[in-house]
Amino acid sequence: MDKRQHIVVVEDEPAQRQLLLDYLSRQGFRVTGLESGVGLRRLVEREMPALVLLDVNLPGEDGFALARWLREKSGRVCIIMVTAASDTIDRVVGLETGADDYIPKPFDPRELLARIKSVLRRANGAVAPAAGPRVRMGRRILDLEKRVLIESDGREETLTASEFDLLKVFAENPNRPLARDWLLETVGHREMEAFDRAMDLRITRIRRKVETDPAHPEAIRTVRGVGYMFVPPKD
């Protein structure tokens, strides 16, 4: 059996797709190239890859719809969106669909490789955290070993690599205001610093998962002029 991590490249432009296949294969990955969402859906029914590199502009079903579908299928699969260089809206929507990262065209293959390795490392390389195996966060419990959120009835919800990273940082720094820029740096998205709403969007997404009332957050609070703070429940 092939033990290499499997990356799927969904890109409708043949020359660009082949370039990525050749480059990533040389870097030691098992790589599959697909031109549309139809092929991706068929492949995922047989095998869930480690990472999907997903172009936003695809014929038929666009990359956003495919990212949502992938995230519903698995919280473990890593997703990197490929967006237009100047289109901030694509970046916003991509993050809201559950993507772990994005990269604008045109990009240097070496930068893409660095992002792929970073996302895979964060998804697969959890070290036993100092905060302990479980931390109460709002209406749910964060299991730091299994990387899931647990409901009161025992049901589990898997987290994306970036969601887990952010919740883990909060768990390790209770009642401490954390600056937005520091959070961006710490969770491995230095490239997002120029994208002002990146962290706010991630906070909005995790509040939906942990808060009883996301419109009036009690667990992940906004600290005006600074950033955000995790406040553990008193009970």
Taking the chain (235 residues) in runs of 10, the rounded mean pLDDT of each run is 88 93 95 94 93 90 88 84 67 68 86 89 56 83 90 86 88 87 70 60 91 93 90 81
Structure confidence at residue 86 (pLDDT): 58
Domain assignments of the chain as residue spans, ordered by start: 6-124, 134-230
Tokens 């409708």 belong to: 12
- The CATH architecture one would assign to domain 6-124 is 3-Layer(aba) Sandwich (3.40)
pLDDT at res. 194? 44
Rounded Cα gap, residues 177 and 222, in angstroms: 9
Q: Return the pLDDT at 137.
A: 93
Query: Is the fold of 6-124 the same as that of 134-230?
Result: no
Which of 37, 31, 29 minimizes the C-alpha distance to 11?
A: 37
Q: Quote the pTM value.
A: 0.60
Does CATH place domain 134-230 in 3.50.50.60?
Answer: no
Q: Exposure string (b/e) for 140-172, b if CB count within 10 Å is 16 or more?
A: bbbebeebbbbeeeeeeeebbbbbbbbbbbbbe
